[in-house]
A and B are shown apart, each in its own frame.
Chain A
């Protein structure tokens, strides 16, 4: 009977995991619709570097960020981010037909005369009429308002849509100087063209004076009205128009910064148009751009071998031309692509969830070592992904992985898991408690689940603000204090469990839980106090004063004072074990306030941003915890009164 139950649980686990992960895999597959374009996956195209948001990234990250911005997803059902980018820059005419812009608001659909679709996604082609129609409205909104005035959600969405379209327009024109203008060449212009469809801007620029001369004589001959022109003459006029439009409007296009700097000591990579029109081009950028032209030609003719060869040539050109610290690190680019493809934190979440469910089964059947071992095994697998994710981040960003609020969530949870594994190992002789791993899994799951809300634009692997740009202090102060948070949370989890057992009538020294909780709290005191003091030393080095009563400093101090208070309360026998447990359990609230709450005040040197959902989430969490701890404490207290013999306070 037991064995059947265990087998059933495993089967359930398997089905559960598959159910969660399958849709994930299915999404990543692309349908046969892709056959019209070359599939760049499997080539190194997406690893080519682009400068974006202050650092060099692989094109893959760039593509995902913008696709997510336009469509809400990093990969679409029938096209991956890398392929979308490739078709956008190499074959803009095709790209205009791909559904990428998300419109959820029915008001906007109405304004733009569009029908509601299940996918909610629309292509540039679909939107063009509606955009023209709503353009005056958007212009009125932007010019008519004061700087701090907020728009209504519908208005904001409309403005965002126009902005996104403009941005996409820049993107598709990034390589327009090496792509053919789809207008037949007049016979008088003798130019060698790479493409059959027509000449490129660059090819026309080489004979610009002649070309413009022909246009002048046309105007002189036939006047300005195109109705008087022959077909050839119309082609010439259209070509001239296109050429001039490109030359005038693309001066500001600096979106796709793929050309490395050539002349001054700047580290700013530039877009192809910038390299042409801003005087920053040179022999190296000319050669590099030619490689991209060859790439484009190979892509358009779907010659995969030639395409791959040119990408290799591009990488070798980059490594030869750029030396020193600003050079490209191909490994780092590949790792970043891998990191985004694997999504290690998502895997970690699934595996931790599976482990947690198994753990619940274990609590029902605490004698089964098999279930316990499988909990540890599955949690370890999750841990491998979790720490791999953090290691990826550290390597890609070349700094400790604790630079932003989002990153601290990932870090604290990994420390929590390490602690839990350690404690489970050292207490294994007692048939393994499962308490440590249970508390850690619960805490970690909560943290990983709320992490995306802390970084609502997605995880861009951001660069740090100037004052944080110091690896030494990040590696010492921030890691120690966040480790301290993790330890305190674990101590609080143990205290919760202890209170629960006391509430159902267990002895005071039940499984040594209160001792464990207290010792963990002591370790927490060590880390939080040392971490807080190190923060003071950093502040002294950076701002000139050791302690400024800054909200973040006060929050950290609050944790330390609370811990000092409860330890001295126990030492002075003011607290029984139950009250001690309640005070340790309360650490959850204190840590949450110190970690997230202080950002809500938006004052002081530590204020790294107010995020909307935090206030509600925090408030809810604290309220829930107060109720839970209060109820458990009361229940335990009542139990104690009923059976004073069992309740004799155990030594810690």
Chain B
């Protein structure tokens, strides 16, 4: 009997400690240090790399030394907040503000978790007068295999690893991945080291080009992902060594009887449930200058059932539809002088959480600050001063 009581007491004490200021006191400095280091690192590593390394990680390795990453620290704070809110928050007027503030932050953090788990960001480039239905991801690349005009497979770039063999049902070949590079430099085949098996035929562009890894660009989107692959079992005409990289002018084409299979490498594409057509891109400059005052895209949403309706996407005024949000991100000018709009497309089910969380937190903090600042002091000022002078 006694043992059980002690166990319960022990749990209660532990919970009280978790819900107290201690976890915050100990984790905050670490979090702040990581924040500083990660921010400064952005200058050299670029935004994406710095984020992945410092802010989207469980452990950060400084050489051989492990350091807690943002995830565990935020996790501890979330646990502390949750325990405090659920178990130790009595609703008294004086304390209500703080409880609400805690609740607000909890919702914010929860929103952050949901976002990090499922949010997908990408962009849509639409030249004037044309339409587009595919959103390109900013960072994720994929090996796209198209059979007879239909998408057969999308392999995320993480699957394309050196030494891996890719086999497919219903495709007349197998692929050995010989080498990959996250940022490829293209150089002449003559200067490349000779192949292990000299008999291997060089196909397609591999006859003139070879790939080797180059230092990463600051901007992750600009990195040219690529691989050197070996195709087997495709027949004499097609077997051999190929190079494949992002935005290659001609995809690898394999003919097998009546079937035509194309292989391409590029940014991962997602299909929207509607197409977006750009009618007009308008850029307003400040009068008499080249500085942009505003720009917006007049688009038409083309739905699957044939209905189409016009809309406008402007800076600071996104379009939300069917769970997707379209933002005016930037624009391009094509070689022929035609304008193309670049819309950022975000699919994030958790987008509403930060709004509500912020609102509750703001309200709670306002309450608490007003109450604290306006609180009467326990000893009147006159008495205080008297005491000080006599001290």
Contact with B along A486-524 (1 / 0, CB 8 A): 000000000000000000001101111001000100110
CB distance from B388 to the nearest CB of A (A): 6
Cβ distance B3 to chain A, nearest Cβ, rounded Å:
30
A519-B373, A572-B22 are known contacts. Are A546 and B115 too (CB-CB below 8 A)? yes
Q: Does B65 contact A (CB under 8 A)?
A: no
Complex alpha-carbon distance, A54 and B378, angstroms = 58
* B345 neighbours in A (Cβ, 8 Å): 544
What is the total number of residues of chain B having a CB less than 8 Å from a CB of chain A?
70
* Selected interface stretch from A236-244, A287-295, A601-609, A631-639: A601-609
Report B353 CB to chain A, min CB distance, Å: 9
- Distance of B64 from chain A, by nearest CB (Å): 26
Once the chains bind, are A533 and B361 in contact (CB under 8 Å)?
yes
Question: Is A24 close to B, CB under 8 A?
Answer: no
Residues of B within 8 A of A545 (CB): 115, 119, 121, 346, 348
Instruction: Answer whether residue A571 sits at the interface, using C-beta atoms and an 8 A cutoff.
Output: yes
Alpha-carbon gap, A347 to B47, bound state (A): 44
Chain B residues lying within 8 Å of A515, measured Cβ to Cβ, are 377
- A467-B315 contact, Cβ under 8 Å, with A51-B288, A526-B366, A602-B43: yes
- Do A554 and B38 have beta carbons less than 8 Å apart? yes
- How far, in angstroms, from A510 to B388 measured CA to CA in the complex? 7
Q: Taking the complex as formed, is B251 at the interface, i.e. its CB lies under 8 A from any CB of chain A?
A: no
CB–CB A54/B287 < 8 A:
yes
Q: Please report the C-alpha to C-alpha distance between residue A550 and residue B43 in the assembled complex, in whole angstroms.
A: 11
A52 at the interface (CB under 8 A from B): yes
Contact across chains for B286 and A55 when beta carbons are under 8 A apart: yes
Residues of A within 8 A of B22 (CB): 572
Task: State the CA gap A269–B286 with chains docked (Å).
Answer: 11
Asked if residues B24 and A469 are in contact (CB atoms below 8 Å), the reply is no
CA distance A172 to B373 in the complex (A): 62
- Contact at B39–A601, with CB atoms within 8 Å? yes
The answer to whether B25 and A558 have CB atoms under 8 Å apart is no
**A542 to B29, alpha carbons, bound, how many Å?**
31
B134 to chain A, nearest CB (A): 17
CB–CB A536/B40 < 8 A: no
Is A451 at the interface (CB under 8 A from chain B)? no
Are A544 and B377 in contact (CB-based, < 8 A)? no
* B344 partner, pick from A525, A543, A598, beta carbons under 8 A: A543
| A537 with B28: CB separation less than 8 A | no
Query: What residues of chain B lie closer than 8 Å to A555, measured between beta carbons?
Result: 39
| Smallest beta-carbon distance B55→chain A, Å | 5
Per-residue CB contact flags for chain A residues 252-269 toward chain B (1 = under 8 Å, else 0) read 000001000000001111
Answer yes or no: B20 CB below 8 A from chain A CBs: yes
Cβ of A187 within 8 Å of any chain B Cβ, yes or no, is: no
Q: CB-CB < 8 A to A544: which residues of B?
A: 121, 318, 325, 327, 329, 344-346
The distance from the CB of A469 to the nearest CB of chain B, in whole angstroms, is 6
B169 interfacial contact with A, CB 8 Å: no
Known contacts A463-B291, A565-B28, A473 near B316 by CB under 8 Å: yes
Distance between Cα atoms of A640 and B391 in the complex (Å): 15
Interfacial chain A residues near B351, Cβ < 8 Å: 540, 546
B166-191 contacts to A (CB < 8 Å) = none
Alpha-carbon distance A572/B287, docked complex (angstroms): 58
CB distance from A514 to the nearest CB of B (A): 12
Residues on B with beta carbons closer than 8 Å to the beta carbon of A326: 287
Question: Which residues on A sit within 8 Å (CB–CB) of B287?
Answer: 51, 54-56, 266-269, 326
Contact (Cβ within 8 A) B318 A558? no
A399 to chain B minimum Cβ distance, whole angstroms, is 12
A569 at the interface (CB under 8 A from B): yes
Determine the main DSSP class of B at the interface with A. Answer: helix
B362 interfacial by beta-carbon distance below 8 Å: yes
Q: Mark A142-168, 1 if CB is under 8 A from B, else 0.
A: 000000000000000000000000000
B165 within 8 A of A: no
* A646 to B388 alpha-carbon distance, docked (Å): 10
Chain A 526-560 against B: per-residue CB contact (8 Å), 1 yes, 0 no?
A: 10011001101110111111111111001101100
* Complex Cα gap A312–B368 (Å): 59
Taking CB as reference atom, which chain A residue is nearest B325? A544
Any A CB within 8 A of the CB of B358: yes
User: When each residue 557-569 of chain A gets 1 if its CB lies under 8 Å from chain B and 0 otherwise, what string results?
Assistant: 1100110110011
- B1-47 residues at the A interface, CB under 8 angstroms: 20-22, 24-25, 28-29, 31-32, 35-36, 38-40, 42-43, 46-47
State whether the Cβ of A429 lies closer than 8 Å to any Cβ in chain B: yes
- Taking the nearest CB of chain B, how far is it from the CB of A94, in angstroms? 29
Picked from B20, B31, B51, the residue with its CB within 8 Å of the CB of A549 is B51
A511 and B28 contacting across the interface, CB-CB below 8 Å: no
Query: Considering only CB atoms, which chain A residue lies closest to B123 in the complex?
Result: A544
Given contacts A465-B291, A544-B318, contact A601 B362 (CB under 8 A): no
**Residues of chain A lying within 8 A (CB to CB) of residue B51:** 549
Interface 1/0s, chain B 202-242, versus A by CB < 8 A?
Answer: 00000000000000000000000000000000000000000
* Stretch of B147-155, B292-300, B303-311 that contacts chain A: B292-300
CB-CB nearest in chain B for A430:
B381
- Docked CA distance A54–B294 (Å): 13
Q: How far is the CB of B89 from chain A (nearest CB, A)?
A: 14
Q: Is the CB of B346 within 8 A of A530?
A: no
A466 with B292: CB separation less than 8 A: yes
Give the shortest distance, in Å, between A246 (CB) and chain B (any CB): 23
Q: Which residues of B contact A398 (CB under 8 A)?
A: none
The listed residue with most B CB atoms (<10 A of its CB), out of A467, A526, A651, is A526
Please give the distance in Å from B276's CB to the nearest CB on chain A: 15
Q: How far is the CA of A546 from the CA of B46 in the complex (A)?
A: 20
Indicate if the CB atoms of A268 and B288 lie closer than 8 Å: yes
Minimum CB–CB distance for A533 against chain B, Å: 4
- A425 CB within 8 Å of chain B: no
Q: Does A135 sit within 8 A of B, measured CB to CB?
A: no
Judging by beta carbons under 8 Å apart, are B388 and A511 in contact?
yes
Report the minimum CB–CB distance from A336 to chain B (whole Å).
16
B372 at the interface (CB under 8 A from A): yes
Using Cβ atoms and an 8 Å threshold, which residues of chain A touch B42? 551, 601, 603-604
Which of B289, B348, B357, B372 touches A522 (beta carbons < 8 Å)? B372
A53 an interface residue at 8 Å Cβ cutoff? yes
Q: How far is the CA of A561 from the CA of B35 in the complex (A)?
A: 10
- Asked if A469 and B43 make an inter-chain contact with CB atoms under 8 angstroms apart, the answer reads no
CB of B21 within 8 A of CB of A571, answer: yes
Within 8 A of A (CB), among B261-310: 285-289, 291-295
- Tell me if A574 is interfacial: C-beta within 8 Å of chain B: yes
8 nearest interchain CB pairs?
A54-B286, A572-B21, A568-B21, A565-B28, A267-B287, A533-B358, A544-B346, A54-B289
A-B residue pairs in contact (CB < 8 Å), sample of 18: A463-B286, A467-B315, A470-B315, A510-B388, A512-B381, A512-B384, A529-B365, A530-B362, A540-B355, A544-B325, A546-B111, A548-B47, A549-B47, A551-B42, A554-B38, A558-B35, A601-B43, A603-B46
A-side interface residues toward B, CB under 8 Å? 51-56, 257, 266-269, 326, 427, 429-431, 463, 465-467, 469-470, 473, 506-507, 509-512, 515, 519, 522-523, 525-526, 529-530, 533-534, 536-538, 540-551, 554-555, 557-558, 561-562, 564-565, 568-569, 571-572, 574, 598, 601-604, 646, 651
With A466-B315, A469-B294, A558-B36 given, name 20 new contacts (CB 8 A).
Answer: A52-B288, A54-B286, A427-B381, A430-B385, A515-B377, A523-B369, A533-B358, A537-B355, A537-B358, A541-B318, A542-B315, A544-B329, A544-B346, A545-B115, A545-B121, A561-B35, A564-B28, A565-B24, A604-B47, A651-B378
